[in-house]
Amino acid sequence: MHNSTISSSIRSAIRPFPRIATYPTGWGGEMSFEQISEQIRPLAAKMLLRQYRVWPQDLDDCLQNGLMYIWEQLAADRNYLATWSRLATAIKVCYRSKSTSIRKQNLRYEYMEDFWAKHDFKHPEEMRIGGLERFKIAGEHWATWATLTDIRIDIERAILTVYEQVKDDSAGLLALYAATTSVTSKDLAYVVPGKGEDAIRWRAAAIRNQLRGMLGTLRREQPTWRERFDSGEVEPAMKLLEQHPEQHIKYAAIRGLIEGKSSTQAAKAFGHNVNTLQYHRRRANKQLAQVYGCTA
Q: What angle do CA 235, 223, 185 make, to 5 degrees?
A: 105
Calpha distance 35→243 (Å, rounded): 103
| Cβ atoms within 10 Å of 211's Cβ, excluding its own | 18
Mean pLDDT, the chain, as a whole number?
80
- Which residues, in sequence order, are CB contacts of 147 under 8 Å at separation 6+? 137, 140
Give the orientation angle of helix 86-95 with respect to helix 33-50, to 10 degrees.
60
Q: What angle do CA 136, 112, 152 make, to 5 degrees?
A: 35
Average pLDDT rounded to a whole number, residues 116-129: 54
The pLDDT of residue 289 is 86
Q: What's the full length of the chain, in residues?
A: 296
Q: Which helix H or strand E contains 23, and what residues bound it?
A: strand 22-25
Question: How does DSSP classify residue 125?
Answer: G
Distance (Å) of CA 272 to CA 196, 253, 268: 16, 10, 7
Lowest mean pLDDT among 31-35, 159-163, 180-184: 180-184
The pLDDT of residue 132 is 47
Banded pLDDT at 82 (limits 50, 70, 90): very high
Which tens digit of pLDDT belongs to each residue from 11-62?
777 666 667 888 999 998 999 999 999 999 999 999 999 988 888 888 999 9
Q: What is the model's pTM? A: 0.37
Calpha distance 140→145 (Å, rounded): 10
More confident residue, 138 or 170: 170
Average pLDDT rounded to a whole number, residues 100-122: 70
Calpha distance 12→31 (Å, rounded): 24
Lowest mean pLDDT among 3-12, 167-176, 211-220, 286-295: 211-220
- Which residues, in sequence order, are CB contacts of 135 under 8 Å at separation 6+? 144, 148
At 110, the amino acid letter reads E
Average pLDDT rounded to a whole number, residues 80-104: 92
The pLDDT of residue 131 is 46
Check pLDDT > 90 for residue 95. yes
Name beta bridge partners: 25.
29
Q: What angle do CA 23, 28, 30 make, to 5 degrees?
A: 30
What percentage of the chain exceeds 70 in pLDDT? 80
Distance (Å) of CA 46 to CA 50, 64, 161: 6, 14, 60
Average pLDDT rounded to a whole number, residues 215-235: 74
Q: Which helix H or strand E contains 277, and what residues bound it?
A: helix 274-292
Banded pLDDT at 71 (limits 50, 70, 90): very high
Calpha distance 266→229 (Å, rounded): 19
The pLDDT of residue 218 is 44
The pLDDT of residue 292 is 83
Q: Is the dihedral of CA 257, 258, 262, 265 positive or negative?
A: negative
